[in-house]
């Protein structure tokens, strides 16, 4: 038996057994229902990957809108890096570096860990911007 723990868990789920425990405990639990000498038992295990997409709720009533935090307009049709650059120009009086463009683009569009509003507030309230 050369199964990974995830495969043993999948077999336990298939046979409606408890899925908690070590590999040894899972294998012991499966022993009465699985013939380990039968190679087809290993082939039956199919790992299913489920990706849940969670859309962030940007319409929360307590959060400021983009218009509340800046006069810079965001064009959803344009590249987000144009907006990032405009924010750096406005509040830091300089161009955004390649690293900053890449970092904030990923946070805003790929990872969705940052809202446009929080990005602007972060730059606007940064030590660099406040020192100008």
- Reported as a single tens digit per residue, the pLDDT across 18-34 is 989 888 898 889 888 88
The Cα-based distances of 15 to 39, 62, 66, 76 in angstroms read: 17, 47, 52, 49
- What residue spans define the domains of the chain? 5-44, 66-130
Between 48 and 103, the more confident residue is 103
Three-state DSSP state, 27: helix
> Stretch 44-68: mean pLDDT, rounded?
63
Poorest-pLDDT segment among 19-28, 69-78, 123-132: 69-78
Q: Where are the alpha helices (DSSP H) in 19-124?
A: 23-30, 39-44, 66-69, 80-92, 98-105, 116-124
d(CA 73, CA 24): 59
Is residue 119 within 8 A of residue 64, CB to CB? The reply is: no
- pLDDT band of residue 6 (cuts 50, 70, 90) is confident
pLDDT of 63 strictly over 80? no
What is the pTM for the complete model shown?
0.51
């Amino acid at each position: 038996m050369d199964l990974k723990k995830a495969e043993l868990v999948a077999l336990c789920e298939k046979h409606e057994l408890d899925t908690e425990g070590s590999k040894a405990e899972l294998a012991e639990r499966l022993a009465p229902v699985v013939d380990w000498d039968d190679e087809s038992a290993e082939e039956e295990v199919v790992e299913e990957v489920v990706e849940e997409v969670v859309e962030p709720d940007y319409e929360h009533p307590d959060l400021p809108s983009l218009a509340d935090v800046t006069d810079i307009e965001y064009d959803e049709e344009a590249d987000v890096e144009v907006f990032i650059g405009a924010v750096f120009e406005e509040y830091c009086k300089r161009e955004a570096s390649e690293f900053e463009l890449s970092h904030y683009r990923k946070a805003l569009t790929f990872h969705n860990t940052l809202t446009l509003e929080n990005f602007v507030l972060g730059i606007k309230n940064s030590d660099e911007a406040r020192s100008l």
